[in-house]
Structure formats: structure tokens, C-alpha cells
């Protein structure tokens, strides 16, 4: 595969020196081999962000210190991946490893440890890099299914989730992954519209029904549907007058209306049959809950969406604010009719919520793709700047 992309791997050789006058023109190995080059990339690692862990009382030192179970100095709190610095019996010291395979393998070990199973992480570090396929799969059903199953098979842990975007192409992927996966748990992401949410629930239920009809177990499958909340207000507030009473209210009304669909969908004879076979409901998850407008409460999208069965993922600033002055009162379904009135009022003043949520979905998918391609462009521009000006060799 690498050779097909004009990449040659030189293994088992140590770099002795860089050679060239004004810029590096070749690399000489300890074995005396000279390799011509246009530029050299040196991997020097990253600085782990441990501020939150340190402030929470976890032991840190060039990473979060963990034991062989990936457990931190605080019981039942685990760390894995490039931020975790674990004692490795092979090396006889603590090491922190910065690559994909290590995060994957440590994630497996931490998942077992969280379940109380015996774990002693001692894998020898190695890495594998998928270099040639960009992550532009949100509108490709078959590729989404293939990549999700590949990742799941590498992990093979029952308490890990795979993210699938809630695009039209993602709907059959959600159904298929629920149907065929051996305990594949799907985190449906980039949800904005209530109607799309209903389609997501239906896809999940169809997958469960298909599994039940095939005699497959249902009790180990878990799924969440991640609603992005505050972004809706950001886009809608820009269309409203400064004194509009709807400002800062439409996103919460949308989420509360979605919760009513959740309650309705996971009820009735069909759901009762699935539940009796061990099925779990697909729980709503509130994402993008940080307050963007300083005129609003800094815990607005947390305190107004408290209710049974839901999950709220908060950015650090919001988490700290809620811990300081947030209140846990059941607000999510306190007045369902008020949410419907707010949405109706928004429609009457010309807010097209369907258009807004469709735009947010496209923008969300595009932002992920843009970030990836911007990273590639940034790397290429830096490499172009480092290449010798008189080099006739292609990049």
C-alpha cells in the first residue's frame, strides 16, 4: 500500500547525520546508507494537557500518572492514550506513548478495568497509521459501516461507543451497525432536528427488531443520540431582534420537544417486547452545552435540560460553573406545552427551524472535514517552505 503511494519504509536503521549545505539534502544512516530527501520531519511529541486533572487532585508528571490498570491516583478514575504515563514492566519505568495504537490498546485495558476485571497493561508500544483515506465519510453509508466495524473489531470491548453522524447516509449505517454488530454501541452525533431524531430512533429500533428476529441478544447493546444544543440559539438569535423574548429559548425548546419524542418512541407494545428481551432505550445526550452568549447564564444549557435518562456532556468551563452555582431541578419535562409554544412562536416570526437545523448539520460535517484538510494544508505549506529552493525533485 505504501509503495503504491510512492512511500518507502526503511526499517532497522539509525539516523547518523543530516547532510547538506543550506538545507538538508540527504540523510546518512549508521550503516552508511545515504538517502536523498527534500525535507526531514522529526517527531518530537506533544505536551500533555493535565491542568484539569491536576486541579482535580490527580497525580501528574509529564502526563497523568496511572498504574498497570490505567487507574489514576484517585480510585475509579482512569486515563488512557497520550496523556497517560504508566509504569511499563518491560522498560522498568513510566512511559507516555503518543500514537493511535497505544490509545486503542490502553482504551481496551481501561474498559476492562472499569468493569472490575483483572488488568495489567504491558503491551509493547507500536503504531499503525491510516495515511491515505480522509475522514470524509459522513455521506457514505457503506464506508461508514466498514470503518465503524473495523474500529469496533480492533477494540472489541462492550463498554465503548462508536460515533456515527446523523446524516441521511448515517441512518442506514446506524440500523446496520445495530443489527450486525456484536455489541456495537453507537453514539449518534451531529443531531439538530427533531424529525431527524425520530429517524435515528427508528433506525435503532429497526436494528434491534432485526436482531431479535434473528435470535441475537439485545441486552448488551447501548446507544445514545447526541443533540447539539447551543449552536441552534447562536444561529437563530442572529435572525431575531435584540429585544425578542425568543432569544436564548429556541434551542432549549427544541431539546425539550425532542425529549417528548424520546418518551413516545420508547413506549408501546413493540418497545415493551424489545425491552422484555433486554433492549435498552437510546438515551438522549445533550452536547454543545457551553453558553456562547455572555448575556445568558453560563449554565443555561445544563440547568434547563435536567431530567431522567438523559446525559449532558459539558466543556470544562461549564462543568466548573455548574459545580459552583448550578441547580439540579427536574426542568426538562416540567412544561412540555411551553416548549411547543416557543417553537410555534419562532415559526410565526419567520424562523424556519428545518432550514436552520439542515444548515447546522451540513456545517457540522464540513467543519470536521475542513479541520482535517486544513491540517494537511498546514503541513504541506511548512514542508514547501523547508524544501531547498533549487531542488528539482518533486515533493
The CA-atom distances, in angstroms, between 51 and each of 58, 280, 281, 314, 316 are: 10, 36, 36, 17, 11
Strand, coil or helix: 226: strand
Rounded CA-CA distance 204/269 in Å is: 16
CA proximity to 121, closest of 107, 132, 141, 133 = 107
What sign has the CA pseudo-torsion 72, 78, 84, 90? positive
The DSSP line for 326-348 is ------TTS-HHHHHHHHHHHHH
| Grid cell digits, residue 2 | 505504501
Q: Are strands 161-165 and 311-312 parallel, antiparallel or unpaired?
A: unpaired
CB atoms within 10 A of CB 172: 16
DSSP element (H, E) containing 95: strand 93-95
CA proximity to 106, closest of 125, 131, 132, 133 = 125
| Grid cell digits, residue 53 | 486533572
Rounded CA-CA distance 97/106 in Å is: 10
Q: What contacts 320, CB < 8 A, 6 or more positions away?
A: none
Of 69, 163, 265, 382, which one is the catalytic site residue? Answer: 163
CA proximity to 301, closest of 283, 274, 319 = 319
Q: Is 163 a catalytic residue?
A: yes
Rounded CA-CA distance 40/382 in Å is: 11
Nearest 10 degrees: CA dihedral of 241, 246, 250, 256? 180
Which residues are known catalytic residues?
163
Amino acid at each position: 500500500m505504501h509503495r503504491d503511494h510512492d512511500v518507502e519504509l526503511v526499517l532497522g536503521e539509525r539516523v547518523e547525520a543530516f547532510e547538506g549545505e543550506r538545507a538538508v539534502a540527504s540523510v546518512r544512516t549508521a550503516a552508511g546508507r545515504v538517502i536523498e530527501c527534500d525535507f526531514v520531519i522529526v517527531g518530537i511529541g506533544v505536551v500533555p494537557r493535565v491542568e484539569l486533572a491536576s486541579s482535580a487532585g490527580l497525580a501528574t508528571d509529564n502526563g497523568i500518572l496511572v498504574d498497570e490498570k490505567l487507574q489514576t491516583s484517585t480510585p475509579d478514575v482512569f486515563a488512557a492514550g497520550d496523556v497517560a504515563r504508566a509504569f511499563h514492566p518491560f522498560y522498568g519505568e513510566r512511559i507516555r506513548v503518543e500514537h493511535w495504537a497505544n490509545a486503542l490498546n490502553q482504551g481496551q485495558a481501561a474498559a476492562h478495568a472499569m468493569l472490575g476485571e483483572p488488568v495489567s497493561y504491558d503491551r509493547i508500544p507500536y503504531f499503525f497509521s491510516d495515511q491515505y483515506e480522509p475522514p470524509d465519510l459522513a455521506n457514505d453509508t457503506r464506508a461508514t459501516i466498514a470503518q465503524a466495524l473495523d474500529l469496533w473489531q480492533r477494540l472489541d470491548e462492550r463498554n465503548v461507543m462508536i460515533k456515527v453522524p446523523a446524516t441521511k447516509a448515517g441512518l442506514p449505517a446506524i440500523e446496520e451497525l445495530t443489527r450486525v454488530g456484536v455489541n456495537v454501541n453507537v453514539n449518534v452525533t451531529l443531531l439538530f432536528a427533531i424529525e431527524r431524531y425520530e429517524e435515528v430512533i427508528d433506525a435503532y429500533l429497526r436494528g434491534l427488531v432485526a436482531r431479535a428476529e434473528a435470535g441475537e441478544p439485545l441486552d448488551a447493546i447501548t446507544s445514545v443520540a447526541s443533540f447539539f444544543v447551543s449552536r441552534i440559539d447562536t444561529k437563530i438569535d442572529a435572525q431575531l431582534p435584540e429585544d425578542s423574548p425568543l432569544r436564548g429559548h429556541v434551542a432549549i425548546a427544541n431539546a425539550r420537544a425532542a425529549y417528548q419524542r424520546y418518551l413516545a418512541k420508547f413506549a408501546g407494545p413493540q418497545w415493551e417486547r424489545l425491552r422484555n428481551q433486554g433492549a435498552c432505550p437510546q438515551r438522549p445526550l445533550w452536547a454543545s452545552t457551553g453558553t456562547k452568549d455572555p448575556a445568558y447564564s453560563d449554565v443555561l444549557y445544563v440547568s434547563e435540560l435536567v431530567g431522567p435518562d438523559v446525559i449532558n456532556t459539558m466543556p470544562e468551563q461549564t462543568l466548573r460553573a455548574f459545580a459552583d452555582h448550578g441547580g439540579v431541578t427536574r426542568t426538562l419535562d416540567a412544561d412540555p406545552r411551553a416548549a411547543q409554544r416557543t417553537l410555534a412562536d419562532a415559526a410565526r416570526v419567520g424562523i424556519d427551524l428545518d432550514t436552520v437545523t439542515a444548515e447546522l448539520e451540513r456545517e457540522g460535517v464540513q467543519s470536521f472535514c475542513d479541520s482535517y484538510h486544513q491540517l494537511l494544508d498546514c503541513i504541506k505549506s511548512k514542508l514547501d517552505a523547508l524544501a531547498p529552493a533549487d531542488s528539482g525533485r518533486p515533493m
